[in-house]
């Protein structure tokens, strides 16, 4: 994990921006941050705040690991699943139309609401595992893109 401390400033800026975007993408539709577009029917539980913050920070860090490095390495981004879990976890159980349609309002409060902390924990665990895997891979097996001219020269020699 000491590898993170050696990140360039640009990677830290991307991590910060990514964390802010994820934080807003979760907090606005779940009305953790009051806004005129969405309203919660139930107040957020105590655990929603730490799950929201941990998900935002970890997602920002994972996104930053996909940043193109000075040596040219880059990769695709796949952190959406954990973000969806977090969104389902911190959202109002009565505001989730799919849950209310399937279980009714009583079922949403009796069956869905108790599952939400587990979804939040799953989201944080998946993001922490993703970050650990990305950093270990980056440390042990850095990739470099070889300039095309050098590859062409190797083929003909």
Spatial distance between the Cα atoms of 149 and 133, rounded to a whole number of angstroms: 33
Model confidence pLDDT, tens digit, residues 19-77: 999 999 999 999 899 989 988 888 999 999 999 999 999 999 999 988 765 554 444 44
Has this prediction a pTM greater than 0.85? no
Domain boundaries, the chain: 2-156
Q: Checking phi first, is residue 72 left (phi over 0); if not, alpha (psi -120 to 50) or beta?
A: left
How far, rounded to the nearest angstrom, does the alpha carbon of residue 132 sit from its chain's CA centroid?
13
């Amino acid at each position: 994990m000491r590898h993170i401390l050696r990140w360039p400033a640009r990677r830290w800026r991307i991590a910060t921006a990514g964390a802010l975007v994820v934080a807003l993408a979760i907090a606005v539709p779940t009305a953790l941050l009051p806004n005129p577009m969405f309203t919660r029917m139930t107040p957020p539980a105590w655990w929603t705040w730490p799950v929201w913050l941990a998900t935002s920070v970890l997602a920002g860090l994972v996104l930053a690991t996909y940043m193109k490095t000075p040596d040219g390495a880059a990769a695709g981004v796949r952190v959406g699943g954990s973000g969806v879990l977090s969104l389902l976890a911190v959202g109002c159980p009565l505001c989730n139309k799919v849950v209310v349609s399937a279980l009714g309002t009583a079922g949403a409060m009796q069956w869905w609401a108790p599952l939400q902390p587990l979804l939040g924990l799953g989201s944080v665990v998946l993001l922490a595992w993703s970050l650990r895997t990305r950093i270990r891979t980056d440390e042990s097996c850095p990739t470099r893109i070889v300039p095309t001219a050098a590859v062409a020269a190797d083929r003909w020699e």
